[in-house]
């Protein structure tokens, strides 16, 4: 549970920084910078702690690489949803349903058991997350309200860019009232699915390879793919990169790697399901930040969802 809480704090803070980074520099540049920063920290830690990867077998290495690539898809879709101007709290809430996917897979495939009280807590937590995101789907047909204040370094304008890069007119800003754009909903859902399968692989194989080595392998695989795509995507996207956006991306990467290490350590302890369920409460942080920083309104359904999440967390702890 402790590792799940650390992961929740890290991912919640990372989501806020990711919002700033994606809207200032675009998805590709932001993800590359954040992932690169994370890998740099992991390499330093591995060298300092004299961590060895010699114990990795082919199967373990392949599983961790798969976790990294699935996680990369989750990062790209998550950042892209934020770049579209979707509300950070609601995007985070939708993507956090990965906890339910990972938990279900851990119980069905890995044969983990979490007990009656823990199971009830998982159900309440996942239900709360679903409720927090359901209201966004109901309002998704309503066009976003125009931004009253421009984002620093980004000019408001229509979306017309590629799938992973910044738009020609700049990414739209956060919508008042926390409405998700139509494009943001499927992107957030896609991130939940890919995060869910990635979490299962990471949690399972980290029990064999260790938290640090697992995180480094998974993160390294995602950065390698991003660098391979640099000649194709990087030239046009780099021109749109914003200095403040890069700083936010690095902050997102550093907090994310803390969460990733905590999640992997929870898997190493043999509690993938509980770690995934507890860590999935992280949307409470960007929901609050969205209310204060971006003027997003918290509906009654979202508030009830947060209460259910906290109640579920208490039950899991019991």
Give backbone dihedrals phi and psi of 152, rounded to 5 degrees, phi first.
Answer: -60, 125
Residue 14, pLDDT above cutoff 50? yes
Instruction: Out of 194-203, 270-279, 282-291, pick the least confident.
Output: 270-279
CA–CA distances in Å: residue 177 to residues 86, 142, 202: 11, 11, 36
Contact assessment for residue 236 and residue 168, using Cβ atoms and an 8 Å cutoff: no
pLDDT band at 52 (very low <50, low <70, confident <90, very high): low
Residue of 65, 70, 75 lying closest to 14 (CA atoms): 75
Instruction: Report pLDDT digits (tens) over 290-299.
Output: 888 877 776 7
Who has greater pLDDT, 161 or 212?
212
Q: How many angstroms from the chain centroid is the CA of residue 270? A: 22
Residue 248, pLDDT above cutoff 90? yes
For 234-260, what is the mean pLDDT?
Answer: 78
pLDDT at 162: 37
Q: What is the mean pLDDT of the chain?
A: 75
For 232-236, what is the mean pLDDT?
Answer: 62
pLDDT at 293: 82
pLDDT at 250: 94
Query: In 135-191, at which residue ranges do the beta strands (DSSP E only) sit?
Result: none
Q: How many angstroms from the chain centroid is the CA of residue 239? A: 25
For 26-40, what is the mean pLDDT?
Answer: 91
pLDDT at 71: 92
DSSP summary character for residue 230 = I
Q: Distance (Å, rounded) from C-alpha 130 to C-alpha 274?
A: 18
Helix (H, G, I), strand (E, B) or coil at 281: coil
pLDDT at 243: 80
For 268-281, what is the mean pLDDT?
Answer: 70
DSSP H helices in the chain: 2-25, 27-48, 58-83, 88-95, 98-109, 115-138, 184-209, 211-228, 235-238, 243-268, 272-279, 284-293, 300-317
For 271-289, what is the mean pLDDT?
Answer: 76
For 40-66, what is the mean pLDDT?
Answer: 83
Percent of the chain with pLDDT over 90: 20
Q: Distance (Å, rounded) from C-alpha 33 to C-alpha 218?
A: 16
For 27-54, what is the mean pLDDT?
Answer: 86
pLDDT at 69: 95
80, two tokens: 């892209």
- b/e map of 99-137 (b: 16 or more CB within 10 Å)? bbbbbbbbbeebebebeeebbbbbbbbbbbbbbbbebbe
How many Cα atoms are found within 13 Å in the side-chain-facing hemisphere of 11?
A: 32
Q: Distance (Å, rounded) from C-alpha 174 to C-alpha 88?
A: 8
pLDDT band at 72 (very low <50, low <70, confident <90, very high): very high
Residue of 250, 241, 246, 280 lying closest to 263 (CA atoms): 280
Who has greater pLDDT, 298 or 90?
90
Residue 147, pLDDT above cutoff 60? no
Instruction: Report pLDDT digits (tens) over 150-184.
Output: 333 333 333 333 334 433 334 444 444 444 555 67
Q: Distance (Å, rounded) from C-alpha 234 to C-alpha 237?
A: 5
For 201-225, what is the mean pLDDT?
Answer: 84
Give backbone dihedrals phi and psi of 296, rounded to 5 degrees, phi first.
Answer: -80, 135
Most trustworthy range by pLDDT among 80-89, 105-114, 227-236, 242-251: 242-251
């Amino acid at each position: 549970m402790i590792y799940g809480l650390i992961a929740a704090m890290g991912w919640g803070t990372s989501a806020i920084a990711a919002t700033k980074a994606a809207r200032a520099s675009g998805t590709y540049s932001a993800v590359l910078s954040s992932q690169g920063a994370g890998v740099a920290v992991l390499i330093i830690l591995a060298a300092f702690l004299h961590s060895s990867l010699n114990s990795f077998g082919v199967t373990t290495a392949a599983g961790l690489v798969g976790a990294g690539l699935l996680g990369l898809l989750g990062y790209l879709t998550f950042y892209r949803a934020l770049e579209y101007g979707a509300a950070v709290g609601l995007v985070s809430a939708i993507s956090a349903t990965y906890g339910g996917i990972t938990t279900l897979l851990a119980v069905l495939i890995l044969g983990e058991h979490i007990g009656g009280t823990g199971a009830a807590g998982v159900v309440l937590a996942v239900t709360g997350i679903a409720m927090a995101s359901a209201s966004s789907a109901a309002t998704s047909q309503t066009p976003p309200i125009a931004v009253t204040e421009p984002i620093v370094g980004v000019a408001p304008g229509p979306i017309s860019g590629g799938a992973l890069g910044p738009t020609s007119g700049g990414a739209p800003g956060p919508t008042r009232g926390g409405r998700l754009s139509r494009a943001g909903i499927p992107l957030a859902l896609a991130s939940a699915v890919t995060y869910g399968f990635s979490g299962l692989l990471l949690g399972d194989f980290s029990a064999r390879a260790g938290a640090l080595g697992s995180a480094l392998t998974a993160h390294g695989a995602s950065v390698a793919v991003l660098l391979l795509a640099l000649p194709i995507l990087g030239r046009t996207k780099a021109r749109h990169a914003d200095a403040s956006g890069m700083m936010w991306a690095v902050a997102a990467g550093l907090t994310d790697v803390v969460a990733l290490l905590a999640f992997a350590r929870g898997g190493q302890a043999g509690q993938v399901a509980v770690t995934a369920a507890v860590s999935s409460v992280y949307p409470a942080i960007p929901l609050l930040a969205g209310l204060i920083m971006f003027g997003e309104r918290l509906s009654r359904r979202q508030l009830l969802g947060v209460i259910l999440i906290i109640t579920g967390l208490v039950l899991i702890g019991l």
